[in-house]
Amino acid sequence: MRHIGNILYLSWKELISLWRELLLLLLVLYSFGPGLYIESSGGGDFLSNAHVTFVDDDGSALSRGLRTALFPPYFLEPDVADPDTAERMLDWGETTFVVTIPAGFEADLRAGRHTEVQILIDATKTMQATVGTGYLTRIISDEVTRFLARSDAARLMSIDLVLRRAFNPTGDNVWLSAISGLLDHLTMLTIVLTGAALIREREHGTLEHLMVLPLNAFEIAIAKVLANSAVVFLAFVFGLYVVVKAALDVPFAGSDGLLLFGTLIYLFAAAAIGILLGVIARTMAQFALLIMLVIMPMMILSGGMSPIESQPIWLQPITYMLPSRHYMEMATAIAFRGADLSIVWPKLLAVFVFGSLYLVGSLLFFRRAAAGA
């Protein structure tokens, strides 16, 4: 009972210290609120609401058909302008693409003569320029093919290809971006808050005071894990229900309770990594450098930014040592496939085991860190 009382008291002290750190609290609120929404909503279709301007020197039915083939959410309703106005709009960033259709375009196609469509691109908008060019050329090519064939090009194929998407019928990348964003913010904030709390104790000289009290390293470490994990967990719940489910309208096929339970276990693992980094680092500057070396690989190699299968063969086995990979696989299985505990328990166990190993490693060096060695 004495150990439990010590842990609860130290956890309360940690919460009071964190409450006084206004900037850290604002960072937590922003990360799971507006930051998560902006990151996830921008992580859907790479091309969204692109502005296209047509310079139509032909004025034919085909040229008008090309304009009507562009529609939301990929493109805004195209404008029609003269060449000088279109050039000015491109120079001033008022449009991203200028499509110039030459005079006699439809007549040349009917007669089988060679003709060209010019597309001018504002390449300063890198993502829209790169992806949008492919969209535009494909749409224009399909419309011209359909016009010349007088039917849908797909009907001319001898094989009727039918695609059926499992678990994400519309292919909406926002769904995965939202879950990946939750994981990224969980990882970053838990490690930062926990490790920074330990560094702050050392820089203020209070860590030595704690070590001379009738406390052990386990009690001090667990108190920091509990306090900082509780704050991040509350922010996670807010981000899950208010941002992901309500604002982004991401459907969940599985159990919310199981996902929250898995998140608690992952918070333990991430906080243990934060304690370990806080023990290794001697100053806040060193801790910041260690964070760059740890957090980014955890986020990149978890499978949220790129599939595990797309990573180098030699690197894939190494990712099994990252709790973030197991949590990402567990979260997506619960959210989109409706997986239950009988399916995801190996992932939960792996996260807990790695978290325990990191915590044991940090405790082994805790006394040495407190002594300033």
d(CA 330, CA 343): 9
Q: Are 56 and 22 members of one domain? A: no
162 found inside a domain: no
Q: Are 100 and 138 members of one domain? A: yes
Q: Are 269 and 235 members of one domain? A: yes
Report the share of the chain in percent with pLDDT over 70.
90
167 found inside a domain: no
Q: Are 61 and 109 members of one domain? A: yes
Final residue before a domain boundary, out of 114, 131, 156: 156
For 164, list phi and psi in degrees, rounded to 5.
-125, 115
- Nearest one of 55, 52, 59, 53 to 135, comparing CA atoms: 52
310 found inside a domain: yes
Final residue before a domain boundary, out of 96, 128, 156: 156
Q: Are 137 and 19 members of one domain? A: no
108 found inside a domain: yes
Q: Are 241 and 260 members of one domain? A: yes
184 found inside a domain: yes
Final residue before a domain boundary, out of 127, 156, 185: 156
Q: Are 325 and 183 members of one domain? A: yes
d(CA 74, CA 127): 13
Q: Are 199 and 57 members of one domain? A: no
Q: Are 128 and 198 members of one domain? A: no
Q: Are 80 and 190 members of one domain? A: no
| Positive or negative torsion for Cα 149, 155, 156, 162 | positive
Q: Are 177 and 56 members of one domain? A: no
Q: What pLDDT was estimated at residue 312?
A: 86
| Positive or negative torsion for Cα 8, 331, 179, 312 | positive
Q: What pLDDT was estimated at residue 296?
A: 85
361 found inside a domain: yes
For the chain, the three-class secondary structure string (H helix, E strand, C coil) is CHHHHHHHHHHHHHHHHHHCCHHHHHHHHHHHCHHHHHHHHCCCCCCCCECEEEEECCCCHHHHHHHHCCCCCCECCCEECCHHHHHHHHHCCCCCEEEEECCCHHHHHHHCCCCCCEEEECCCCHHHHHHHHHHHHHHHHHHHHHHHHCCCHHHHCCCCCCCCCCCCCCCCHHHHHHHHHHHHHHHHHHHHHHHHHHHHHHHHCHHHHHHHCCCCHHHHHHHHHHHHHHHHHHHHHHHHHHHHHHHCCCCCCCCHHHHHHHHHHHHHHHHHHHHHHHHHCCCHHHHHHHHHHHHHHHHHCCCCCCCHHHCCCCCHHHHHHCHHHHHHHHHHHHHHHCCCHHHHHHHHHHHHHHHHHHHHHHHHCHHHHHCCC
Residue 108, Cβ neighbours under 10 Å: how many?
Answer: 15
Q: What length is written for the chain?
A: 373
For 52, list phi and psi in degrees, rounded to 5.
-125, 135
Number of domains in the chain: 2
Q: For residue 75, what are the domain limits?
A: 52-156
The order of strands in the sheet holding 97-101 is 79-80, 52-56, 97-101, 118-121
Taking 50 as the pLDDT cut, the residues of the chain under it are 44, 151-157, 373
Query: C-alpha dihedral over 72, 77, 83, 84, to 10 degrees?
Result: -110
Q: What pLDDT was estimated at residue 235?
A: 93
CA distances from 220 to 4, 21, 323 (A): 11, 20, 23
198 found inside a domain: yes
243 found inside a domain: yes
User: What is the β-pairing status of strands 52-56 and 79-80?
Assistant: parallel
Q: What pLDDT was estimated at residue 163?
A: 75
CATH code of 94's domain: 3.40.1710.10
d(CA 255, CA 26): 30
Q: Are 131 and 193 members of one domain? A: no
Q: What pLDDT was estimated at residue 3?
A: 66
- Nearest one of 86, 169, 100 to 136, comparing CA atoms: 100
